Amino acid sequence: MVAASRWAAGKAARPRLAAAAALLPAALLALLLLPPPRAAALTLPGMDEEKTITQEDPVVTKLKGMLSELREKVGDNPSDFKSLLEMGTLLARLNELDPDGGKRVPQALAAFRHALDLAHDPQVRSFVAAQMGDLLLAARFHREAVHILNQTVPLAQRSGLGKTDTFARMLLHFAKAQRELGNEGEAQRLFARALKTARKVSPHVYAQAWLGLEEYSEREVKELEDCAEFLRRRREGVDEEHLSDGEMDEWLDLAERWTWLDGELKSKKDQSAVAYALAAAHRQQGRHEEAWQALHDANEVRRTFDLYTRVDEEDNVGQLLRTFQVPKAPEQFENEADAVWAALLQGRWGYRNDSLRPIFVVGLPRSGAALLERILTRHSQVGSIGGQSALPTQLRGLLDLLAVEGELPTANITAAGNRTLARMRRQVGEKDAAKAGARFVLDRMLPNLWNIGFIATSLPDACILHVERHPADQGLSCYEQPFEGKFTRWSFNLSDIAHQVLLMQRVAEHWDALAPRRVLHVRYEDLVREQERVIRLVMDHCGIPWDDSVLKGGPKLHTQRVQRFRGQAHVLEPLLRPLRQLILRYERSAGLLEYSGPLLESLLGPEEEEGRKDDAGSISAGSSSGRERAEAEADGAREEL
Ligand SMILES: *[C@@H]1O[C@H](CO)[C@@H](O)[C@H](O)[C@H]1NC(C)=O
Ligand SMILES: *[C@@H]1O[C@H](CO)[C@@H](O)[C@H](O)[C@H]1NC(C)=O
Ligand SMILES: *[C@@H]1O[C@H](CO)[C@@H](O)[C@H](O)[C@H]1NC(C)=O
Ligand SMILES: *[C@@H]1O[C@H](CO)[C@@H](O)[C@H](O)[C@H]1NC(C)=O
Ligand SMILES: *[C@@H]1O[C@H](CO)[C@@H](O)[C@H](O)[C@H]1NC(C)=O
Q: 126-135: per-residue pLDDT in tens?
A: 888 888 988 9
Q: Measure the CA dihedral 496/502/507/508, to 10°.
A: 130
Q: Measure the CA dihedral 189/191/196/202, to 10°.
A: 160
Which ligand does the CA of 355 lie closest to?
A: 2
Residue ranges per structural domain of the chain:
312-634
Closest CA to 387 of 430, 435, 450, 443: 443
Please state the φ and ψ torsions of residue 528, each to the nearest 5 degrees: -80, -40
Q: Poorest-confidence range of 173-187, 246-260, 524-538, 610-624?
A: 610-624
Cβ neighbour number for residue 71 with a 10 Å cutoff: 15
Q: Is 96 exposed, middle or buried (0-12, 13-18, 19+ CB in 10 A)?
A: middle
Taking CA atoms only, the protein residue closest to ligand 3 atom 9 is 412
CA of 150 to the centre of ligand 1 (A): 6
Mean pLDDT throughout 39-53? 29
Report which secondary-structure segment, H or E, holds 238.
none
Q: Under a CB-based contact definition with an 8 Å cutoff, are residues 524 and 467 in contact?
A: yes
Strand, coil or helix: what is 532? helix
State the sign of the Cα–Cα–Cα–Cα dihedral 271, 275, 280, 281.
Answer: positive
pLDDT at 126: 85
pLDDT at 3: 54
Mean pLDDT throughout 590-616? 64
Is the C-beta atom of 574 inside 6 A of ligand 3? no
Q: Which atom of ligand 5 is nearest to the CA of 574?
A: 13
Reported as a pLDDT band with limits 50, 70 and 90, residue 592 is low
Closest CA to 235 of 267, 208, 203: 267
CA of 489 to the centre of ligand 5 (A): 13
Mean pLDDT throughout 551-569? 55
Q: Which atom of ligand 1 is nearest to the CA of 154?
A: 5
Q: Per-residue pLDDT for 48 more than 70?
A: no
- What are the residues facing 133 on neighbouring strands? none
pLDDT, one tens digit per residue, over 2-32 is: 555 544 433 333 333 333 333 333 434 433 3
Q: Measure the CA dihedral 245/249/254/256, to 10°.
A: 130
The pTM of the whole model exceeds 0.85: no
Q: Say how many CA atoms lie within 13 Å of 437 toward its Cβ.
A: 0
- How do beta strands 463-468 and 519-523 pair? parallel
CA of 38 to the centre of ligand 5 (A): 26
Q: Per-residue pLDDT for 276 more than 90?
A: yes
* Rg of the chain over all Cα atoms, to the nearest angstrom: 26
Strand, coil or helix: what is 80? coil
Taking CA atoms only, the protein residue closest to ligand 5 atom 2 is 493
Taking CA atoms only, the protein residue closest to ligand 2 atom 4 is 355
pLDDT at 617: 32
Highest CATH level, class, for 312-634: alpha beta
Q: Which atom of ligand 4 is nearest to the CA of 351?
A: 13
CA-to-CA dists, residue 10 to 149, 276, 342, 464, angstroms? 60, 56, 13, 31
Mean pLDDT throughout 249-275? 86
Taking CA atoms only, the protein residue closest to ligand 2 atom 3 is 355
Is the C-beta atom of 409 inside 6 A of ligand 3? yes
pLDDT at 55: 54
- Cα separation of 175 and 241, whole Å? 44
Output the average pLDDT for the chain: 81
**Strands annotated E in 339-424:** 357-363, 382-384
Strand, coil or helix: what is 406? coil
DSSP state at residue 409: -
Share of the chain above pLDDT 90, in %: 46
CA of 25 to the centre of ligand 5 (A): 26
Q: Which atom of ligand 3 is nearest to the CA of 401?
A: 13
pLDDT, one tens digit per residue, over 364-420 is: 999 999 999 989 999 999 999 988 888 888 888 888 888 777 788 899 999 999 999
- DSSP class per residue in 100-112: -SSTHHHHHHHHH
Q: How far apart are the first and last CA of the chain?
A: 34
- Highest mean pLDDT pick, 156-165, 334-343, 370-379: 370-379
Reported as a pLDDT band with limits 50, 70 and 90, residue 618 is very low
DSSP state at residue 484: -
Maximum pairwise Cα distance, the chain: 88
pLDDT at 621: 29
